[in-house]
Amino acid sequence: MNATAGAIATYNFAYLDEQTKRMIRRAILKGIAIPGYQVPFASREMPMPYGWGTGGVQVTASILGPDDTLKVIDQGADDTTNAISIRKFFQKTAGVATTTRTGDATVIQTRHRIPETPLKSGQVLVYQVPIPEPLRFLEPRETETRKMHALEEYGLMHVKLYEDIARNGHIATTYAYPVKVEGRYVMDPSPTPKFDNPKMHMSPALQLFGAGREKRIYAIPPFTRVVSLDFEDHPFTVQDFGRPCALCGAEHVYLDEVILDDAGGRMFICSDTDHCEERREAGHAGEMLAGEAAQ
């Protein structure tokens, strides 16, 4: 096959060979047609380690074209080392345009967060998934969990969540919080904080999930019902930090706790760096910046 002009000569466009892309593309289509079902695929060894985004990278490599604009985030940030590494990989092998702006991206690959800026129709969000099986920690055997999904037997999951409530008074799962997709499959949303779960529900964007080491691809089409598991007397709730971002003043966003000194000083800032920058550019200021402006 031909390497494209500008990309390195020895590897195909976007690294993967065409046969591999076809195999992954078929799996993606099956995933979309069966929302929340984990489609097995013959995951390849990638030039980055398993557990570092090989599933997401394979999905992105299989959908990416020369007209795309790619954004890569890790922990919500564009400038974390692994996000940079993956972004550079696609710049090098696909020569694709990249951006940090959520609104400008056609494909967003993410680890552990969903952007704060609402996604639009036509955008694709690709999640890196370490353990795709939501039932894995209740039942380690694939042979068993496959049966449980087939029979729609999710009682074990409810028992586990209810044990949390009995023990702690509330559900003690804060990330990778299981969801039910379109009333059928229980699905692992990847280790995003449960704060992000509501963003998956009826999103106008297509959401694709790639687990390289575990060799699974799954999907949520746009405008699909995604419901976090809960109980009538203990409804699902998201984290609330009770304070705005110290830099941009945004409220009801996911915050990172930053340690400022060795005397216990700390502040809370947006985990989504792009969202924070855009707000600051638009003139918003949190207490940290407002304080400085006043001085």
Partner 1 sequence: MYVAVKGGEAAIENAHRLLDDRRRGDRSVPALTLDQIAGQLALAVDRVMAEGSLYDRELGALAVKQARGDLIEAIFLLRAYRTTLPRFGYSRPVDTAAMLVERRISACYKDLPGGQVLGPTFDYTHRLLDPALAEDAGTDQPVRREGETEPVMRVSEILAGEGLIEGDGAVAQEKGVGDITRTPMEFPMDRDTRLQALSRGDEGFLLALGYSTQRGYARSHPFAGEIRIGEVEVSVDIPELGFAVSLGRVQVTECQMVNQFKGSAKAPPQFTRGYGLVFGQSERKAMAMALVDRALRASELGEDMTAPAQDEEFVISHSDNVQATGFVEHLKLPHYVDFQAELDLVRRMRAEHDAARVTGAGDELEAAE
Partner 2 sequence: MSEAEHLAGGLADPVFDAQSAFRAVMAAMAEPGTVHAPGRLAGPPAPLSAVAATILTTLCDADTPVWLDPALAASEAVTAWIAFHAGSPVTANPVEAHFAFVTDPAAMPAFDGFGLGSHEYPDRSTTIVLQVAGFDGGEPLTLAGPGIETTRTFAPSPMPRNFTTQWAANQARFPRGVDLVLAGPDAVACLPRYTRLVPTED
Residues that bind partner 2 in the complex, under the rule CB under 8 A: 1-2, 4, 12-13, 18-19, 21-23, 25-35, 37, 39-40, 62-66, 122, 146-147, 149-151, 182, 184-185, 202, 204, 206, 219-225
- Report, in Å, the least distance between residue 147 CB and partner 2: 7
* Known active-site residue 248: yes
Longest Cα separation, the chain: 64
- Report, in Å, the least distance between residue 215 CB and partner 2: 13
Work out what residue 258 binds among partner 2, partner 1, none; the CB cut-off runs from 5 to 8 Å by kind: partner 1
Give 202 or 290: the residue with its C-beta nearer to partner 1: 290
Give 63 or 135: the residue with its C-beta nearer to partner 2: 63
- Report, in Å, the least distance between residue 32 CB and partner 1: 18
- Report, in Å, the least distance between residue 263 CB and partner 2: 52
Work out what residue 76 binds among partner 1, partner 2, none; the CB cut-off runs from 5 to 8 Å by kind: partner 1
* Known active-site residue 286: no
Q: Is 237 in the site for partner 1 (CB under 8 A)?
A: no
Contacts to partner 1 by CB under 8 A: 11-12, 15-17, 19-20, 40-47, 49-52, 54, 74-76, 79-85, 88, 111-113, 130, 141-143, 168-169, 172, 174-176, 191-195, 213, 215, 239, 241, 246-247, 254-258, 260, 267, 269, 271, 273, 288-289, 292
Q: Which residues are catalytic?
A: 36, 245, 248, 270, 276
